[in-house]
């Protein structure tokens, strides 16, 4: 048994993460989770620390690269944005529950939190196109704004918003970035997205595999700006990083 462990390539981890890395386990009693379904999911597999605490920049970057093919140009700035949510001065790690710090990164009108699962009524076909995803996003904000008297959506929230919608499409969808119409650039199986949000598990049993395409900053920004046209009729200025 020992020999098998030694021989197994996954046993050697530069990150010194546990041997059961890659195995889904529900969070244990000492674990914390936060508002990001993907970071929660990665902790559930032990790619990020299972207790959800002490996540360093290097680990976040390595894991997003390895598991979902996200380039450091996306993962790095995203992590840097989150770092200030750790209240300890000069901290170099984050805990997942710290990400809920209201209006730093976490904001009202989330896709799947609080009340309902994000507007399934918006999705009427087995595959979501970019336009449906953008409209579901907008519908969710309108609902939150009209039902929550203290609703605020700071500028930063508005940007992250479309990024999050973009994020799940990039991870779970099939890309066709050469398509003429933004609407057709990614097609995302609804089943996979629902499964992910509901269970905080990668939809491997629905046939999901690590995206072949690498998500770089340029790809993300162009996609987010173009997506805005679908709901606002125009691009919404620049992006925060």
Q: What is the closest distance, in whole angstroms, from the C-beta atom of residue 135 to ligand HEM in the complex?
A: 15
Per the DSSP assignment, residues forming a β-bridge with 55 are: 94
133 binds, among Mg ion, ligand HEM, none (CB under 5 to 8 A by kind): none
Applying CB under 6 A, among 33, 35, 182, 228 the residue interacting with ligand HEM is 35
**Stretch in the footprint of ligand HEM (CB under 6 A) among 19-27, 37-45, 46-54, 233-241:** 37-45
The answer to whether residue 200 forms part of the interface with ligand HEM (CB under 6 A) is: no
Rounded CA-CA distance 106/113 in Å is 11
The answer to whether residue 164 forms part of the interface with ligand HEM (CB under 6 A) is: yes
Rounded CA-CA distance 201/36 in Å is 12
User: 41-80 mask for ligand HEM (x: CB under 6 A)?
Assistant: -------------------x---x---x-x----x--xx-
Rounded CA-CA distance 148/72 in Å is 36
CB < 8 Å & 24+ apart, contacts of 190-196: 190/123, 190/125, 190/126, 190/127, 190/128, 191/126, 193/128, 193/168, 194/117, 194/120, 196/37, 196/41, 196/168, 196/172
Q: Using only C-alpha atoms, what is the Rg of the chain? A: 18
Applying CB under 6 A, among 38, 136, 141, 186 the residue interacting with ligand HEM is 38
Nearest residue to the partner Mg ion, using Cβ: 110
CB within 8 Å of 39: residues ≥ 6 apart: 48, 52, 55, 96, 99
**Stretch in the footprint of ligand HEM (CB under 6 A) among 5-13, 21-29, 104-112, 119-127:** 104-112
Q: Which helix (H) or strand (E) holds 226?
A: helix 217-232
Q: Which residues of 47-56 are buried (b: 16+ CB within 10 A; e: fewer)?
A: bbbbbbbebb
The answer to whether residue 40 forms part of the interface with ligand HEM (CB under 6 A) is: no
49 binds, among Mg ion, ligand HEM, none (CB under 5 to 8 A by kind): none
The answer to whether residue 110 forms part of the interface with Mg ion (CB under 5 A) is: yes
C-beta separation of 65 from 72 below 8 A: yes
The answer to whether residue 187 forms part of the interface with Mg ion (CB under 5 A) is: no
C-beta separation of 43 from 33 below 8 A: yes
Applying CB under 6 A, among 112, 132, 138, 228 the residue interacting with ligand HEM is 112
Q: What is the closest distance, in whole angstroms, from the C-beta atom of residue 11 to ligand HEM in the complex?
A: 26
The answer to whether residue 171 forms part of the interface with ligand HEM (CB under 6 A) is: yes
| Site residues (vs Mg ion, CB under 5 A) | 106, 110
| Site residues (vs ligand HEM, CB under 6 A) | 35-39, 60, 64, 68, 70, 75, 78-79, 82, 99, 105-107, 110-113, 160, 164, 167-168, 171
């Amino acid at each position: 048994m020992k020999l098998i462990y030694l021989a197994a390539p996954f046993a050697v981890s530069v990150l010194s993460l546990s041997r059961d890395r890659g195995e889904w386990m529900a969070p244990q009693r000492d674990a914390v989770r936060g508002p990001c379904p993907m970071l929660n999911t990665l902790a559930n597999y032990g790619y990020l620390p299972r207790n959800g605490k002490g996540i360093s920049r290097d680990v976040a970057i390595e894991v997003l690269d390895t598991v979902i093919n996200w380039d450091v140009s996306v993962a790095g700035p995203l992590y840097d944005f989150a770092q200030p949510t750790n209240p300890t001065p000069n901290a170099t790690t984050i805990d997942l529950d710290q990400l809920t710090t209201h209006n730093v990164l976490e904001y009202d009108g989330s896709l799947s939190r609080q009340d309902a699962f994000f507007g399934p009524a918006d999705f009427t076909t087995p595959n979501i196109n970019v336009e449906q995803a953008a409209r579901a996003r907008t519908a969710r904000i309108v609902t939150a704004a009209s039902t929550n008297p203290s609703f605020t959506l700071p500028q930063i929230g508005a940007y992250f918003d479309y990024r999050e919608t973009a994020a799940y499409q990039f991870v779970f969808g099939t890309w066709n970035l050469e398509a003429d119409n933004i609407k057709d650039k990614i097609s995302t199986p609804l089943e996979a997205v629902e499964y992910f949000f509901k269970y905080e598990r990668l939809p491997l049993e629905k046939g999901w595999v690590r995206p072949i395409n690498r998500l770089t900053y340029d790809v993300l920004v162009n996609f987010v700006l173009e997506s805005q046209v679908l709901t606002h009729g125009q691009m919404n200025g620049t992006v925060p990083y």
